[in-house]
Amino acid sequence: MTLKRVVVTGIGAITPLGNTVDEFWKNLIAGQSGAGPITLFDTSLFKTKFACEVKGYHPEDHFEKKEVKKLDRCSQLGLVCVAEAIKDAGIDNDSVDRDRIGAIWATGIGGFETFENEVMDFVRGNEIPRFNPFFIVKMIPNMIAGLITIKYGFHGPSFVTVSACASSNNSIIEGFNLIRLNKASIIISGGSEAPITRASIGGFNSMKAMSERNDDPTRASRPFDRDRDGFVMAEGGGALVLEELEHAKSRGAKIYAELVGGGLTSDAYHVSATHPEGLGAIKAMKEALEEANLDRSEVDYLNAHATSTSMGDRSEMAAVATFFGRDQKLNISSTKSMTGHLLGGAGAIEALTCIMAINHGVVPPTINLENKDTEIADYLNLTPNHAIKRDVRVAMSNTFGFGGHNTTAVFKRFEE
């Protein structure tokens, strides 16, 4: 069986740096931080009082008032970026076979805000069992993929991948495999997350995983820097339209890049810590490049998972140093220094970053990198503080999740 080729024909984003792809990219390469004081709830009793929120988002601008009540914020953000991606791809329902279009979405937590609010209301109500009739369908993570297919009438495969912070890369790789195996012609892929809630912030604070730099939020996310003190929570989403190459060409679709490889491994090490030597990460990168039929020397840009935690950044860079060696030609950056960490949605906007880097010949920076951690290899090019112009033919995105999930996706400039 000959495997099909898979290309990206549409993209969409709603992020702390902008509510469209163009806004996101402009602010990303400018080195802007999306961090600021949390406005979504009262943080006076919390250790961390800031996050990377989506700005200027009003649900009523995108959904009817009665529909807003039925949708968790996570689903709303997902549907908004999907709408941009589908429009960008020029998908016309009257001229495509909707039986061959599916939605493989991703989220790490799903409708956490809904769950939290319903339980709080239940407790405040003196245990009277009154729950919103939309409670369950707003909360369950799979519903986002269902909502996409319902809105657009797609009858192909649909489900949601949940692997913590690796979730979006899992969704992209699953969509890739379904198209390659001729199970679908188009897959709407990506991920969204809305985790800026009391329980989420409090829970991650108790793990001592998040930064507490409340006096200077824009400088709090500082991957690779010796003074990093944890990640910065973020919300938003990113969407990719993955399409079989001949199908895309037959309808005259523009092609942003080709998705050429995916690696999936498990650390089998710890519930929240990555393997200290990055063994699972090394294997994921190796598998992805082997599938892409590329040599490691051909990778121009690596968007690192690098969340700004002490052990996580070190273990990933140990893996990168082992796998790539002393290759100053490879540009590495952590765009979480600007966007914060979107958890299950992170891989989606980082995949978009790789695609935009290929199309624009620009590598975005790692901001707030003032004093590099001495335990991170000095010979790695971490693209500190300023974007650089360079030809990017091959870009790789790493995402890793609690539980030891490792995923690597490889994008390449489209060539006939």
Full set of structural domains in the chain with CATH? 6-250 (3.40.47.10), 262-412 (3.40.47.10)
Q: How confident is the model at residue 276 (pLDDT cuts 50, 70, 90)?
A: confident
* 302 contact partners, CB below 8 Å, separation of at least 6: 320, 324, 330, 331, 332, 333, 395, 396, 397, 398
Is 305 one of the catalytic residues? yes
Residue 127: is its pLDDT beyond 80?
Answer: no
Answer for the pair 189, 172: CB distance below 8 angstroms, yes or no: yes
| Percent of residues, the chain, with pLDDT higher than 90 | 91
pLDDT digits (tens, 9 = 90+) for 43-69: 999 999 999 999 999 999 999 999 999
Kindly report the average pLDDT of the chain as a whole number: 96
Cα→Cα distances 50→33, 37, 62, 345, Å: 12, 4, 26, 19
Strands 405-412 and 36-37: unpaired
Q: How confident is the model at residue 412 (pLDDT cuts 50, 70, 90)?
A: very high
CA 387/CA 338 separation, integer angstroms: 12
pLDDT digits (tens, 9 = 90+) for 245-268: 999 999 999 999 999 999 999 989
Mean pLDDT of 147-165: 97
Q: Residue 150: what pLDDT? A: 97
273 vs 374, higher pLDDT: 374
Q: How confident is the model at residue 126 (pLDDT cuts 50, 70, 90)?
A: low
- Indicate which residue of 165, 275, 354, 405 is catalytic: 165
The residue type of 22 is D
- Indicate which residue of 247, 275, 305, 405 is catalytic: 305
Q: How confident is the model at residue 273 (pLDDT cuts 50, 70, 90)?
A: confident
Answer for the pair 313, 274: CB distance below 8 angstroms, yes or no: no
Mean pLDDT of 216-238: 98
Q: Where are the beta strands (DSSP E) in 59-215?
A: 101-106, 158-161, 186-193
Is 165 one of the catalytic residues? yes
Mean pLDDT of 190-212: 97
Q: What is the pTM of this model?
A: 0.96
Cα→Cα distances 267→117, 236, 280, Å: 35, 27, 5
Is 405 one of the catalytic residues? no
- Indicate which residue of 52, 74, 247, 341 is catalytic: 341
SS3 190: strand
CA 6/CA 381 separation, integer angstroms: 30
